[in-house]
Amino acid sequence: MPAGGKSLARVDTSAIGHRGRRVLGLTACPLMMEVLRANEVRPAARRRIWANRRGLRAGTQAKAALDRTECDGICYPPNREYLSEGDPMTKRRLIDALFSLVLLSMVVCGAIQAAENSAQVTVDWSKVSRVSKMTPTYQVVVNPPLRRGSTIHDPVFRAVHDLGCDVVRYVPWLPYPKLAVAELEPPKDGKTSWDFSLIDPMTVDFLEATSGHSVMLNFSTIPQWMFKTPKPVPYPDDPDQPVWDYTQGTELRDPSMKELADYYARLVSWYTLGGFKDEYGVSHKSSHHYKIDYWEVFNEVEGEHAMTPKQYTDRYDAVVEALHRVAPHMKFAGLALGGPSRDAEYFEYFLNHAHHKAGIPLDMITYHFYATPSADQTPEIQQYTFFEQADHFLDTVRYVESIRQRLSPQTQTDINELGSIAANDNKSGPRVIPNSYWNLSGALYAYVYAELARMGIEYAGESQLVGYPTQYPSVSMVDWVTGQPNARYWVLKLLHDNFGPGDKLMDTRINTSYVYARGMVTRDGKHKVLLVNKRDRTFVVSVPGAATGHVAVVDQQTAFQPPAGGQLRRDEVTLGGLAVAVVTLAK
């Protein structure tokens, strides 16, 4: 009972009927939820009532039903001031007030929802904020599904060819020594173990698929026998069996580093000069004469062999000096740090030319970023985690840029591993990754790509072409069973086909933080707007000048298919959850 002891008026909603009850669901306010709760409407039914929103027709029917009903059955929540039964106008006033509340809630809730799910883009097409240097690209990591005979070999390398990217990174790496190391045993008694029979097929297929485009090679795994270890480090006989402890030791057995430098000089000679002479003067012929544009020296060096900044810099100089003699045209990339936010001392040391031999080029630095959720985060939560971590990474880039600009401003930057890794990604057993994850990861890449372009970074490399269970499946750009490209691949292709170095980044604003927008004038003079939905819900985005223009979009509807496209009828774009779209204006 309310204060004063008078009982509250009661309304029997059974007379309202099914459609009338839905009207109560329109009143998205605590009061009406309490009414439903007090009437002992079950939670599931409350949710249905809340979710079903009808028009004024249902509201009119509800009012008529309320006009006819007796005042009993539904208890309004306590601690509210209502008319008591003693007032002769109780029923009529209550009915009118309830109906007014329903109508008001319809208007208010509709307006609020429309405001929350809409966005307005404003581009000042007369104001250039920066001329882009950015090239979108990706990396190919060597693993068994890329071997000839694999069910996905042909579609995957066809996808590489179709992308047509430049500065594509190719990395034979540590889990597969037989697929990554060309000399697995040390020279002894006049014999060597040089063997490219397992390495060549994938490498040649990659170089052929990227023919006509620049590439970056990184044979990151150093033969383990070059390091001092208590005993030789074994490796599997099966080339497809992964091993995670191959990169043992921190000190080279040859402190002059000649052994290390000569290994890489012979490796590059195999692919660029048609062969080499080994440690005992024996010729090894390959007939390869490929052009390798960039060579990256080692990978995630703070982890692999735990190199100090000085150790890495000295080894970089030794390798680059040897390779420059083999391929004078070649450019070089250094560091490839896995944790740039934790390892600023590497940038400070490596980018200081005083720490290098005279004449050693510092063409490019590289480092990596992966958004990684905790194991207990659902897909609904991950959308917030990914973009928050991306913003922290972009802060790291700004800090690294301040170091680079101070010490070596002519050195370029390639963020050549950029993506996301699911929690417990390498656990054994089958993996079920929801399709929405690929869109989330693709949206993440598009957002970071655009912000890196705004900072003047030259390259953003999505990671990676193929992952599969036990080998980081969540980083894959293709289905590891069929080879069909997923949304991450299609987002990259969408960016590559629409944007590139020389585009003008225009001053752009948007009135929500949940959708990212960037207007660009491309090198051929087209006015385009990149849109990235950072949330898994639909937004209607107003883009002035979009009417009669064209939109291409990757979303959860396109999934594993190419971007959808079409002509726009209005100055707005309906952007599905986690979608990435490019709007080309008609003018």
Got the DSSP string for 347-361? HHHHT-GGGS-TT--
What is the DSSP-derived secondary structure letter of residue 496? H
Residue 56, pLDDT > 50, answer no
Place of tokens 């599969």: 468
Average pLDDT over residues 27-51: 44
| Domain identity same for 199 and 69 | no
Residue 362 sits in the same domain as residue 258: yes
Say what the pLDDT of residue 114 is.
54
Tens of pLDDT along 291-319? 999 999 999 999 999 999 999 999 999 99
Band (47; pLDDT cuts 50, 70, 90): very low
Q: Are residues 149 and 93 in the same domain?
A: no
pLDDT value at 499 more than 60: yes
Any domain includes 316 = yes
Q: What count of other Cβ atoms lies within 10 Å of the Cβ of residue 479?
A: 18
pLDDT at position 247: 95
Tokens of 428: 């054994």
Over its C-alpha atoms, the chain yields an Rg (Å, rounded) of 31
Q: Among 400, 435, 470, give the residue marking a domain's end.
A: 435
Higher-confidence position of 55 and 328:
328
Question: Tokens for 409?
Answer: 């401003």
Give the pLDDT of residue 26: 37
**pLDDT 10s digits, 128-151:** 999 999 999 999 999 999 999 999
| H or E element at residue 306 | none
Given a cut of 50, whether residue 27 has pLDDT beyond it is no
Residue 332 domain flag = yes
Q: Let me know: does 558 contact 581? Beta carbons within 8 Å.
A: no
Residues 165 and 224 placed together within one structural domain of the fold: yes
Residue 446 placed within a domain: no
Q: Which two tokens stand for residue 488?
A: 């991450």
Arithmetic mean of pLDDT, 2-10: 38
Higher-pLDDT residue of 411 and 2 is 411
What pLDDT, on the 0 to 100 scale, is given for residue 95? 60
149's CB contacts (< 8 A; 6+ apart) are none
Decide which of 463 and 9 is more confident. 463
Task: Say what the pLDDT of residue 60 is.
Answer: 41
The residue range of the domain holding 155 is: 136-375+382-435
**Contact (CB, 8 A) for 382 and 444:** no
- Is residue 473 included in any domain, yes or no? no
Distance of CA 112 to the CA centre of its chain: 31
pLDDT at 107: 53
**pLDDT tens, 98-126?**
666 656 555 555 555 555 699 999 999 99
Residue-wise DSSP of 143-161: -GGGSTT-TTHHHHHHHHH
CA distances for 92 relative to 60, 63, 449, 502, angstroms? 15, 11, 61, 70
Burial class (CB in 10 A: 0-12, 13-18, 19+), 396: middle
Cβ atoms 485, 560 nearer than 8 A: yes
Per-residue pLDDT for 321 more than 60?
Answer: yes
- Written as six digits, the tokens of 418 are 């950029």
pLDDT at 478 over 70: yes
For residue 504, the model assigns a pLDDT of 98
Is 94's pLDDT higher than 60? no
Burial (Cβ within 10 Å: 0-12, 13-18, ≥19) of residue 216: buried
361 and 239 both lie in a single domain: yes
- Given 420, 435, 450, the domain boundary residue is 435
Same domain (yes/no): 426, 395: yes
**Is residue 260 a contact partner of residue 252, using CB atoms and an 8 Å limit?**
yes
Q: Is the pLDDT of residue 341 over 90?
A: yes
In whole angstroms, give the CA distance from residue 106 to residue 574: 23
Q: Is residue 239 part of a domain?
A: yes
Sequence letter at residue 430: P
Asked whether 512 and 117 are in contact (CB, 8 A), the reply is: no
Residues 151 and 49 in one domain: no
CA distances from 10 to 7, 38, 77, 83, 202 (A): 9, 11, 11, 11, 77
Alpha-carbon gap, residue 154 to 160, rounded angstroms: 10
| pLDDT of res. 53 | 38
How far is Cα 434 from Cα 330, in angstroms, rounded to an integer?
Answer: 42
- With cut-offs at 50, 70 and 90, classify the pLDDT of residue 2: very low
* Residues whose CB is less than 8 angstroms from the CB of residue 135 and which lie 6 or more positions away in sequence, other chains included: 165, 166, 167, 458, 459, 460, 500, 501
The answer on 153 and 98 residing in a single domain is no
Q: What is the mean pLDDT of residues 452-473?
A: 95
Average pLDDT over residues 527-535: 98
Domain count across the chain = 2
Over the stretch 218-235, which tens digit does the pLDDT of each residue have? 999 999 999 999 999 999
Chain segment 355-412, per-residue pLDDT in tens: 999 999 999 999 999 999 999 999 999 999 999 999 999 999 999 999 999 999 999 9
What DSSP character marks residue 409? T
What is the structure's pLDDT at 424?
83
Q: Are 350 and 312 in contact (CB under 8 A)?
A: yes
For position 425, what pLDDT does the model report?
A: 87
Question: Are residue 160 and residue 212 in the same domain, yes or no?
Answer: yes
- Same domain flag for 330 and 386: yes
Residue-averaged pLDDT of the chain: 86
Q: Which residues of 106-115 are buried (b: 16+ CB within 10 A; e: fewer)?
A: beeeeeeeee
Q: Judge if 105 and 169 occupy the same domain.
A: no
Choose among 171, 172, 510: nearest CA to 518.
Answer: 510
Query: Quick check: is 547 in a domain?
Result: no
Type of residue found at 28: A
C-alpha angle 410-405-219 in degrees, rounded to nearest 5: 60
Asked, for residue 566, whether it belongs to a domain, the answer is no
In the prediction, which pLDDT does 279 show? Answer: 98
Q: What is the pLDDT, as a whole number, of residue 470?
A: 83
Give me the CATH number covering residue 240: 3.20.20.80
Nearest in space to 261 (alpha carbons), one of 318, 326, 334, 193: 318
3-state helix, strand, coil split of the chain in percent (to 5) is 35, 20, 45
Looking up tokens 């390398």, which residue turns up? Answer: 157
pLDDT in tens, 484-497: 999 999 999 999 99
What span, in angstroms and rounded, lies between the C-alpha atoms of 336 and 463?
13
Query: pLDDT at position 115, please?
Result: 59
| Same domain, residue pair 109 and 192 | no
Q: Is residue 510 part of a domain?
A: no
pLDDT (mean) for 169-183: 97
